[in-house]
Chain A
């Protein structure tokens, strides 16, 4: 389990990094924490000619806070978020999600941007950021910048809206009011394992925002507006059979076991959130 030969470039600036990616003479991959790409390299499932390492780039490892938003650099590690070294758009949610990602050793190196760009359906941030209504800031050719809402970013298993040569630089998350509630429940075979089912919600009565999102669906996270409406209106999750019916309407190939786990995850995400009150 040793990777095929590759060249490693460690650019000092974002411009240099884009330059390397744009050179076009080689199959180039971005590497940040390497917690997903590393194993794929070792298994020789990924065989890039060149790796461009971003985790040391200035700007990508910073967090900022404005009145309306929290911005997290793409190369900020899960561990930093877990440790509270990053502002929260809604108290406790980012820390909770970060602390549940894999194991501390993985969290020490793995980054939020790397996880989003890898777009593993069973990963945590793709679901959490959909629920939070995050926007991704992307740096493209010749310094152009564009913004992509998280719900449009992940397009399927391991597929994103990133174009060749583009780099995710920042995750921008709107701040929520003091009365906002969140829930995040995942079902895994064991602590630190990839999830079998994830359900997250963010509800802010002040701004009348409520999102219910399901992860580990085999593709992009699934947003279910009807379930969100029910939650916003009643303050409780729908009954199990209604949740299942709604999920089947969105994705008909869910097995009975998967469906059960997703529905239970939604119910418990709500129960846990309310029990905090």
Chain B
């Protein structure tokens, strides 16, 4: 039986870091703190937000009800590719249906990029002239209830002239393929070419491995789908948009640009958000349409995405194809890697992350944690008649990690060595840190081979081989697989600028203040949608101010109330918002000490903060006393008091823009049922190093949740299309997500190598665990199936694919086993 995940397996281990490696004397407490007396950094405290989330008191977009509010439903394209000849509104409801003809003042969503060869797509928020994927919005219909709005939507008649659909990414590169955007003359959003030279690697290779790998198109499936409620606030003269987003400040910019409004006239509020994973980090056409209709009609309008809309129009992520040739020596050390990556972008480029991000990440991250110095990579980002590709937890890395890790095992098999050993030899070694890899990624710190050693020890590699042999003798097929990766997190200004994005993150801002009663308020323009940021940034403030997080109120996600932030993506929230809160809280702690010194008649250097009080020796004043003096009894303060008061807004970014790299090794033991093709995960180990662990409990949740999604990618999730581009997986009966019974009892171990470049040594961790599972699990499947000489190179590794591969082998050989 499975037991509760939150139990004894997390082993706390610290890799010693020289004190002088850490700048500026940031707190570097090494031990887990006693949470009864402290809620600072490192405390294993329950999440502040869970009381409302778990008791049904959270407030999602779907919970908000405004006076006179109506609901919206969209008419969506039933075909993948075609010209729109005519749209006929139902006569009785002509004033409740809006098409692109009505929205002539709305600009299309257009994600520019400065990268060479980039083709830009214009996405009209309601289709204009052409439809380019099944599910594309054509008209928006409004009514008092969603059911009535759907009744109207099905009366809207659209006549099409169908065009040949382009469904296959390889076909998209052919010169006679149908054109998704005619004016381009081809179907290429972007091609990139990186070449450091492979002649030497080729000349010296003892082993050459050639493989092709395929990953499926997926839907992200946050529990709460997308939702938007817009209304015009006459008093504020503002369009107020409640929307389920990770990036409220970016959405304000996007809406302003599309609607032609000054940004001061738009307020975006992200209320409680039930999961994002990247799906909610881009401007969606529905957000623009709903906002426009609300302004046009003067009525609050809400649209709530349903699961079918999500599975059709949100089928927008992770579809890659790889051709890889690896050159290695006779010990399996990679000398060079030649790769061709095709990314199936779909019809449109998302804003603001563009159609470039995925290929840029794929090309840049394919070498992963490995040290080889010869690399060539061509990428093709192709347009097809599918929804526009959106970055999903890990962005391109779940794909590149899968390709790289399977290649690593293929090399190990070719040279007859244990894959974990070959992996260790190829990884960047601890004494090489910091290390700049072949694609100029700057790996800041860590001991990558040690993560393999620890994962192998934890999962019991040594005794496993004997167990595997014994099981085979009984007709049971066990396999073990490893997967190692780096997770670039909180990469900043220069990296995003180099990707040619229209919006580049800079300094993250946060505000921290003391209220008149001595409690703390923290405001951040970042957002918490399940990652626990509401708790962890409170812990950062608590670290400096020594106030319990129960007395720290965190406000996020409202452009009207929070300082600017580009939001939560790229595993940046903890590093960036945490760093900004740290900087502001540090400054505020200093001001508190100055006030306290005056009240206690001593010097600020003599003041020590503890338990929400300021001490000078035994004498102390509380934060409430200090706050009262500033807000209510300024007569107690000296004339030269700091006029900035007890409220601080600070901006922060790490000392390097290149990101800080979390890394991990995942290891899995699976049993493949060669009768049914089913895979059972018997054991699953994660050894992770994400720098300072702000809250170990939340980290475990991130790791388990990410790995669960990764197992979905590895074994279950796949959007299927027919030859006409019709999605065949439009309900959860067809698009299979893993459930509790399909997940193993994850075991998680940690190292804690602090980043030298961030406040508190924190590294980002949100995406990581979703990256590695496909590599670990499919390597384990291939290890299990070695007696059959069967190798899977496609995910999800479904029973159908495994059985097909087994049935295709020589039956005589199967019988001989």
Contact = CB atoms under 8 A, between A and B. Distances in A.
B716 A189 contact: yes
Nearest to B806: A260
Given A2-B146, A4-B151, A189-B716, A261 B676 contact: yes
Interface in B694-741: 716, 731, 733, 736, 738-739, 741
A189 B308 CA distance: 21
B677 interface: yes
A5 interface: yes
A204 to B, nearest CB: 28
Contacts of B48: none
A5 B151 contact: yes
A2 B150 contact: yes
Contacts of A3: 147
Interface stretch (B102-110, B464-472, B797-805): B797-805
A219 B733 CA distance: 18
B150 A191 contact: no
B807 A190 contact: no
Contacts of B154: 4, 44
A19 interface: no
B807 A187 contact: no
Contact of A193 (B145, B146, B736, B798): B736
Interface in B344-387: none
B675 A39 contact: no
A237 interface: no
A22 B739 CA distance: 44
A75 B146 CA distance: 31
- Report which residue of B146, B154, B307, B803 has the largest number of chain A beta carbons within 10 angstroms of its beta carbon: B803
Nearest to A188: B678
A76 interface: no
A39 B733 CA distance: 11
Contacts of B741: 190-192
A4 B477 CA distance: 51
B148 to A, nearest CB: 9
Contact of A190 (B677, B739, B804): B739
A190 B738 contact: yes
Given A187-B676, A189-B736, A43 B308 contact: yes
Contact of A260 (B145, B675, B736, B738): B675
A190 B742 contact: yes
A257 interface: yes
Nearest to A267: B675
Contact of A257 (B146, B306, B308, B803): B803
A261 B800 CA distance: 10
How many A residues are at the interface, by size bracket?
A: 20 to 34
A116 to B, nearest CB: 19
Nearest to B801: A257
Nearest to A190: B742
B804 A189 contact: no
Nearest to B742: A190
B742 A191 contact: yes
Nearest to B804: A257
A192 B736 CA distance: 11
A112 B803 CA distance: 33
Given A1-B306, A2-B147, A189-B798, A257 B736 contact: no
Nearest to A240: B675
A143 B741 CA distance: 47
A24 interface: no
B731 A39 contact: yes
A256 B804 contact: yes
- Report which residue of B307, B676, B798, B803 has the largest number of chain A beta carbons within 10 angstroms of its beta carbon: B676
Contact of B733 (A1, A191, A194, A264): A194
A62 interface: no
Given A1-B308, A256-B807, A189 B147 contact: no
A196 interface: yes
Contacts of A260: 675-677, 803, 807
Contacts of B742: 190-191
Interface string B143-179: 0011100110010000000000000000000000000
B618 to A, nearest CB: 61
A43 B493 CA distance: 46
B52 to A, nearest CB: 24
Nearest to A256: B807
B309 to A, nearest CB: 8
Nearest to B733: A194
A1 B739 contact: no
A191 B741 CA distance: 6
A190 B736 contact: yes
A1 B799 contact: no
Interface string A191-214: 111101000000000000000000
A192 B147 CA distance: 30
Given A2-B147, A5-B151, A190 B716 contact: yes
Contacts of B146: 2
Contacts of A189: 716, 736, 798-799
Contacts of A267: 675
Contacts of B308: 1, 43
Interface in B274-329: 306-308
Contacts of A190: 716, 736, 738-739, 741-742
Nearest to B147: A2
13 contacts: A4-B154, A43-B731, A187-B676, A191-B739, A191-B742, A193-B733, A256-B804, A256-B807, A257-B677, A257-B800, A257-B804, A267-B675, A268-B675
Closest 4 CB pairs of A and B: A2-B147, A191-B741, A264-B675, A1-B306
Given A257-B800, A260-B807, A267-B675, 4 more contacts: A187-B678, A187-B799, A190-B739, A261-B799
